[in-house]
Amino acid sequence: MREIPELFGKGRPVFSFEFFLPKAPEDLDRFVLDVKALKSLRPDYVTLTYGAAGTGRERTVEAAGRIQNETGLTTACHLTCIAHTRLEIAAVLDRLSALGIRHLVALRGDAPKDLAVPPPGERDFGYAADLVSFVKKRGGFKMAVAGYPETHPEALSAEDDLKHFAQKSAAGADWAITQLFFDSKDYFSFVKRARTAGVTLPIVPGIMPVTSYAQLKRFVAMCGAKIPDELEARLAPLSADPEAVIREGIEWGARQCRELLDGGAPGIHFYTLNRSRSTTDILTRLRRK
């Protein structure tokens, strides 16, 4: 498997896909086949989101190993730390290593709904930077971390959020993937601020093609992103026509990706939502130019 950080700076954009673990264990076989079908799009790597605890965690590790070993696609497994001890994280790393996984997306993660999580100072991993440092000292993995062009919804301020981002970089992260956003200016502003703060790692914009107006509303509410007025004006009249929303989402996504690449973004990370149509159409357009 190629090391993902080595892909950057080669004079071409790096394209990657994100998938989430199917909720039903019996759907895993079908999911792996679906991912394999997207291999023809030639993503440079793929990522898999992480189950919060218990069987979800174990199934994520298993699925990441299957994707990489059955499809040949370099796979970065999400790893969250908010509800885990150092011993638990070490065990996950051992399992991933045994499966041949050498890349992680290191995240603090959200607290499980059914579990009371202590404050940062009382946890083994208070923040994502603590996880990055732990993995870096242990060795054997390359890591991506998250960036927030519009500021993490729990951050005290944009400056505090940038401080945490810089700490993750300094702790040993190799590249960053941003939260979804829909205005390219937010990405470029974030990158400029990060560079001023001394962050030098590649910062890849994360793009979610709009496939549902209602779903879009839910997602931006959860992650603190905003819908640009122009996009809202385009989508609102189409909200009752799912097919029209998908087409408009593809048009917006393709234009946004082109703006980002033309402005110097090192690649695009597609939040696929386990769907292929929009990502396929946008990526095909990008590669034609």
Structure tokens, 135:
């993995």
Structure tokens, 81:
């730390």
Q: Which of the following is catalytic: 3, 6, 18, 26?
A: 18
Q: Is 18 a catalytic residue?
A: yes
Rounded-to-integer distance, Cα 23 and Cα 211, Å: 20
Rounded-to-integer distance, Cα 85 and Cα 102, Å: 21
Q: Are 123 and 85 in contact (CB under 8 A)?
A: no
Ramachandran angles phi, psi of 179, nearest 5°: -65, 160
Ramachandran angles phi, psi of 75, nearest 5°: -120, 130
Question: Looking at this protein, which amino acid is placed at residue 201?
Answer: L
Determine how many CB atoms are found less than 10 A away from the CB of residue 12: 12
Which residues does 29 contact at the CB level (< 8 Å), separation at least 6? none
Active site residues: 18
